[in-house]
Amino acid sequence: MPTIRTIIFTLTLFLAASAITYAEEPQSVKAAYQGYIAALETRLDAQNTSSGGFLWLDQNSQRRDAVRKGEIPVQQVDTPQIPGGTIEHWIGGAFLPSATVGQVLKVDQDYANYATYYAPEIVQARLISRNGNHYQVFYRLKKHKIVTVVLDTIHDIDFVPLSTERYAVRSRSESVREVRNAGESDEKVLPEGEGLGFLWAMNSYWRVQQRGGGVYIECEVVTLARAIPFGMGALVKSTIQSFASESLANTLKAKQRAVLSSH
């Protein structure tokens, strides 16, 4: 097992390489990410209208049993390799006993309290605008894994009613900007694409269904980060992966707490 000193040294090299080799994410990386997202959303459109295949949790009895016991399974989805970037795709789910779809929806749209519900990862949240079921929302995110990264992000969010017992949510990042020296007198929000490159884009896709004495919730998160320099693979990759996987697990737990405490 690598020591903390080794990990910090490796990450230091990674950060130095990031500062030297990337001022902004190449357009080809964005194009590859958007191509992946387009294919994913085509699959989600079919899944959302499916009578029997709506939930990922239903595709495996062990997963379904696990969430009924209070566990929160999270699984990585295979993604293509792209030059200059790293796409991470994670999926997870949870069960909220005795909850209703209405209670979950109320928490989902209560952006004024997101910094309370989802602390410490969401530091600030505010609704920018709303037009029917379309929302534009600002988040200040704080990600920590050996190093701490603060990001100002803007998301376009669509709520998709599917029936009286289920709905879907699509959240697409419109802007992701790293914040240097967050909270200090010399705080600076960097232009898009500048900084460490641990997160360039993040989309999340929620499915919510009431049945069986409660509500099943599940989410797929797809992120784009900079490529890992040669020779720094294992240690740095685990850091980038954790931004998505740990954030997803924490978000599912936090939503579960928020909804259940509102009963």
Average pLDDT of span 86-101: 95
The answer to which of 28-37, 143-152, 225-234 has the lowest mean pLDDT is: 225-234
Asked if residue 15 has pLDDT above 60, the reply is no
| pLDDT on residue 154 | 98
Asked if residue 52 has pLDDT above 70, the reply is yes
pLDDT > 90: what percent of the chain? 68
What are residue 157's phi and psi, to 5 degrees?
-125, 130
Average pLDDT of span 179-196: 90
d(CA 217, CA 57): 9
Rg (C-alpha) for the chain, rounded Å, is 19
Higher pLDDT: 23 or 158? It is 158
| pLDDT on residue 144 | 74
Asked if residue 229 has pLDDT above 90, the reply is no
Higher pLDDT: 116 or 15? It is 116
Asked if residue 133 has pLDDT above 60, the reply is yes
| pLDDT on residue 126 | 97
Q: 146 vs 4, 51, 95, 239, CA distance in Å?
A: 9, 44, 31, 8
Q: Is the dihedral of CA 215, 224, 45, 109 positive or negative?
A: positive
Asked if residue 250 has pLDDT above 70, the reply is yes
Tell me the two tokens of residue 15.
């950060």
pLDDT band for position 70 (50/70/90)? very high
**H helical segments located in the chain:** 4-21, 27-48, 61-68, 101-108, 114-117, 233-261
CATH (domain of 140): 3.30.530.20
| pLDDT on residue 236 | 55
State which of 81-95, 164-178, 249-263 shows the largest mean pLDDT.
164-178
Of the candidates 167, 144, 143, 146, the residue with the CA atom closest to the CA atom of residue 157: 167
| pLDDT on residue 31 | 92
d(CA 187, CA 30): 27
Sequence-ordered list of residues with C-beta below 8 angstroms from that of 158, at least 6 positions apart, any chain: 133, 134, 135, 169, 170, 171
Determine the structural domain holding residue 34 and report its residue range. 4-261
| pLDDT on residue 239 | 58
Number of domains, the chain: 1
Please indicate, yes or no, whether the overall pTM of this predicted structure exceeds 0.85. Answer: yes
Asked if residue 18 has pLDDT above 60, the reply is no
State which of 11-20, 23-32, 50-59, 116-125 shows the largest mean pLDDT.
116-125
| pLDDT on residue 83 | 86
pLDDT band for position 7 (50/70/90)? very low
